[in-house]
């Protein structure tokens, strides 16, 4: 099972990267100074990463459509999700936010291209997903109704009351170590990390034409793995080393940001993550063919980077 | 004529502001720290301004629909355009970009709320237009087809190959005074200012169900007034005073950015702006009821702020 699981995921990651590195809207054609922003965006998108969000789009599509080979529009929609995620990373790394000089072991976008350029590259990647989804509809690959649904899901989960609300809470929490308790941390994490995972799983379900119950289950699964993922991140931030993690370790502590590892202890946090991923897996038990997604939830808690 | 024109515009500006200050997605309900970002966005949106873009949405809707009182969704779509414009102003004013401490005589968003908060407020306003347009479709106020068309128009004109390309050229041009000629300045301005004006005029036309010829004419009008508008801005930057203009004068010169006023001289630039606004007015001559929009193009060249 383990081998089949890993091979399955890595085949999808390769396919996703193939689409992500060849987004037609980012092709550099004129060799003109304005295309510098495309270059910075491609740099940020190609920094790698686990592509968890894109994999979720693809796997939920497969689960609810019953198809083994999703059509290109599913991968293009998955790229739209990765772009939104990447835009937030570019802006998060900037000096006024987390001030991180490296991301996945490479210079952050603002280090490689300059802060103003990184600001614009983030803005470009914030808008591009909507252009791509509109194009998929104009090309007849998805219906206008599906396009509107995807745009609604993405903009709500990424926007002011989703990921951006989480980032706002994160900012607010700096230097307020004493005021932060577990419920606050849960709320922040559900917004900052969880909402984009919800968007990802729901994207796959919407593209597969899933009914309301399935949409709700996709959301529940996502909410649980999102929180588990954040807790594991916090544990790795104190237990891993920089070269494995690809970013400076202990960086949260340095900025006086309390983490789940602080509030629950390492082993308490690990237990909580395992409970959440078990709940995520449980949500999908009733669906035949959900083995990979259930395994994924469990594997998340074993990751070392 | 002049009085009717001014009264007509100012009535629409009041109506637009009424919608803009009461966008349901920006309502503060919980008094929670995450809502700080909504507060910053409302602050930036309420800084005033001429609302030219929103007025264009409304007036082009009126022209091509023949209706005198546009329905609410036209004003809501006009707000979406103002949000995109405002997001770009917030980010433009930030230290890594133009580093402007004031905007329309008030502290810029990053001065009033902090740079990290301004970054997030800009991000929030970059995404919100798509959420609003999707909602208009989900509420049945516009068709999914119209929603997709609006999203396509806005994302393309605001994004990497539109406004953001213009901002990228603007960044690149800093300190390159010698390399900048009039064709470059025209290209930059058409992207940076012109594209959002195109989106505005085309928005009104799309909402009115206009045919291809009308869409093209809306675009031509917008392109001409966009360039005229930028040229007048450049002239005012050297001839006006800070209190009339609401921002520091001579700021472009200070940053060694060449302007149309530098390259064409004040009177040459004024002549060019008048030529362009005459061309804009000419495009609409064949349409009965286009007096206000034609007058608007001419008035643009007489403005003092």
pLDDT band, very low/low/confident/very high, at B300 (cuts 50, 70, 90):
confident
User: Which residues are paired to B102 by β-bridges?
Assistant: B107
Summarised one tens digit per residue, pLDDT across range A191-238 is 999 999 999 999 999 999 999 999 999 999 999 999 999 999 899 988
- Report whether A198 contacts A223 (CB < 8 A): yes
- Hey, where are the domains in chain B? 2-300
What are A10-53's pLDDT values in tens digits?
Answer: 999 999 999 999 999 999 999 999 999 999 999 999 987 889 99
Q: How far apart are CA A93 and CA A73, in angstroms?
A: 30
User: Mean per-residue pLDDT for B2-13?
Assistant: 81
| Nearest beta carbon to residue A94 from set B119, B138, B148 | B119
> How far is A90 from chain B, CA to nearest CA, in Å?
11
The pLDDT of residue A140 is 98
Q: Is A242's pLDDT higher than 60?
A: no
pLDDT at A153: 98
Cβ A119–B172 below 8 Å, yes or no?
Answer: no
Confidence of residue A257 (pLDDT cuts 50, 70, 90): confident
Return the pLDDT at A244.
Answer: 57
- Which whole number is the average pLDDT over B126-139? 98
Q: pTM of the entire structure?
A: 0.95
Residue B124 with chain A: CB contacts under 8 Å: 159-160, 164
CATH number of A2-23+31-300: 1.10.600.10
Shortest Cα distance from A191 to chain B (angstroms)? 10
pLDDT-wise least confident of A55-64, A177-186, B54-63: A177-186
For residue B16, pLDDT over 70 is answered with: yes
Tokens of B257: 């950015």
- Look over chain A and give the mean of its residue pLDDT values, rounded to a whole number: 92
The stretch A275-299 carries a mean pLDDT of 95
Calpha distance B153→A263 (Å, rounded): 47
pLDDT tens digits for range B60-104 = 999 999 999 999 999 999 999 999 999 999 999 999 999 999 999
Please, which pLDDT band fits residue B238 given cuts at 50, 70 and 90? confident
pLDDT at B305 over 90: no
Per-residue model confidence (pLDDT) at position B188: 96
Q: Cβ distance B258 to B284 under 8 Å?
A: no
Which H helix or E strand runs over B240? none
Tell me the average pLDDT across B157-178. 94
Q: Three-state DSSP class for B106?
A: strand
pLDDT value at residue A249: 55
Weakest mean pLDDT among A199-213, B127-141, B176-190: B176-190
Pinpoint the alpha helices (H) of chain B.
2-20, 36-45, 52-65, 72-93, 109-113, 115-138, 144-158, 163-173, 182-189, 195-207, 212-239, 242-245, 251-254, 260-264, 266-283, 291-300
Domain B2-300 is found in CATH 1.20.120.160:
no
- Within chain A, residue ranges assigned H as helices are 2-20, 36-45, 52-65, 72-93, 109-113, 115-138, 144-158, 163-173, 182-189, 195-207, 212-239, 242-245, 251-254, 260-264, 266-284, 291-300
Residue of A nearest to B132 (CA): A152
Is the pLDDT at A254 greater than 70, yes or no? no
% chain A with pLDDT above 90: 82
Residues of B in contact with A144 (CB under 8 A): 143-145, 147-148
Residues of B whose CB is below 8 A from A120: 91, 164, 167-168, 171
pLDDT score, position A49: 83
């Amino acid at each position: 099972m383990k081998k089949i699981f890993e091979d399955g995921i890595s085949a999808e990651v390769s396919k996703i990267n193939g689409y992500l590195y060849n987004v037609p809207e980012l092709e550099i054609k004129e060799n003109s100074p304005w295309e510098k922003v495309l270059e910075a965006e491609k740099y940020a998108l190609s920094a790698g990463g686990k592509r968890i969000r894109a994999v979720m789009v693809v796997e939920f599509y497969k689960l609810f459509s019953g198809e083994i080979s999703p059509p290109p529009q599913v991968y293009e929609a998955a790229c739209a999700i990765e772009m939104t995620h990447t835009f937030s990373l570019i802006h998060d790394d900037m000096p006024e936010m987390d001030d991180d000089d490296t991301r996945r072991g490479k210079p952050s976008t603002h280090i490689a291209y300059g802060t103003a350029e990184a600001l614009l590259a983030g803005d470009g990647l914030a808008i591009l997903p909507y252009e791509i989804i509109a194009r998929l509809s104009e090309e007849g690959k998805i219906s206008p109704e599906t396009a509107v649904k995807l745009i609604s899901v993405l903009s709500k989960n990424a926007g002011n009351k989703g990921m951006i609300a989480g980032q706002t809470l994160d900012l607010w929490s700096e230097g307020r170590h004493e005021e932060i308790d577990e419920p606050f941390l849960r709320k922040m994490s559900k917004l900052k990390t969880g909402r984009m995972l919800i968007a990802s799983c729901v994207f796959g379900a919407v593209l597969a034409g899933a009914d309301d119950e399935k949409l709700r289950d996709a959301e529940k699964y996502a909410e649980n793995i999102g929180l588990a993922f954040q807790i594991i991140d916090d544990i790795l931030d104190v237990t891993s080393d920089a070269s494995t993690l690809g970013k400076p370790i202990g960086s949260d502590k340095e900025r006086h940001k309390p983490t789940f590892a602080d509030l629950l202890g390492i082993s308490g946090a690990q237990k909580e993550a395992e409970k959440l991923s078990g709940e995520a897996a449980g949500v999908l038990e009733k669906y035949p063919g959900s083995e990979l997604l259930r395994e994924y939830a469990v594997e998340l808690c074993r990751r070392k980077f």
